[in-house]
Structure 1
């Protein structure tokens, strides 16, 4: 299995199917993923909480790897993620990128860049154009 196939299986089994047991199959116990949460790396135990929390906000999730590059033990992928908001029927469409180093068939480190603002806007949890509101100095909640 290529590193891209491993990464694709990670997203399919863990994120689409919600198979939390697959976390240990695809993600090394000492590994960490940067760029998801502001306060540090996300490890296997964190994914066990993070994945169900995010999946609870959507129905019918799907992803597509739009572009990818593999070199030695690294794979980079640009992803397109689609789903339907649980609160209503609004479609959710976001993009992101991940660079992962894979050794022995498992992710040992990962660097993510996903823009969660559009995700939360489309899920109905932030106002539309939240980024523009914030850029103008508007507060979305009391300080």
Structure 2
């Protein structure tokens, strides 16, 4: 298993999300990179420019974002990181905690394509936007 800190996905999550350094996106993401699993952004502009839309929208609603990366796998240009997101939902002042996996195809030191799978259902439940019925 690789050293977690040596993966590009770790650097992306730590710099862009934990440190709020969106300006590093151009140096970590290919200009034509595609993303999956982030909702409407999947059909928008490719690369860092398209990602900035998702990032700005998420940051309008959440602050104190802290992503803890637990595991990483890196082989033949593919990286996967398992993580937990902690943040504060600004409109409700509620803390959220949910897990996720980022899987990325990397070429020449940049993310070329990324698949994101986060437990947004749990996040929506924690901020009160979704309630699941207790009866089945």
Matches within 5 A, 1:1-143: 4-37=6-39, 40-41=42-43, 43=46, 44-124=48-128, 126-127=129-130, 129=131, 132-133=132-133
Q: TM-score, normalised by structure 1?
A: 0.77
Higher relative contact order (CA 8 A, sep 6+): 2
Q: Which structure shows the higher helix fraction?
A: 2
For 2:4 and 2:65, the matched residues in 1 are separated by: 24
Q: CA RMSD in A?
A: 2.6
- Per-residue CA deviation, residues 88-127 of structure 1 (Å, 9 max, x unaligned), is 4422101111110111110011111112222233234x03
Taking structure 2 as the reference length, the TM-score comes to: 0.80
- What are the ranges of 5 or more consecutive residues in structure 2 without an aligned counterpart? none
Higher alpha-carbon Rg: 1
Report the Cα offset of residue 56 of structure 1. 2.0
The runs of 5 or more residues in structure 1 that have no matched partner are 137-143
Paired positions, count: 131
Give the C-alpha shift of residue 18 in structure 1. Answer: 2.8
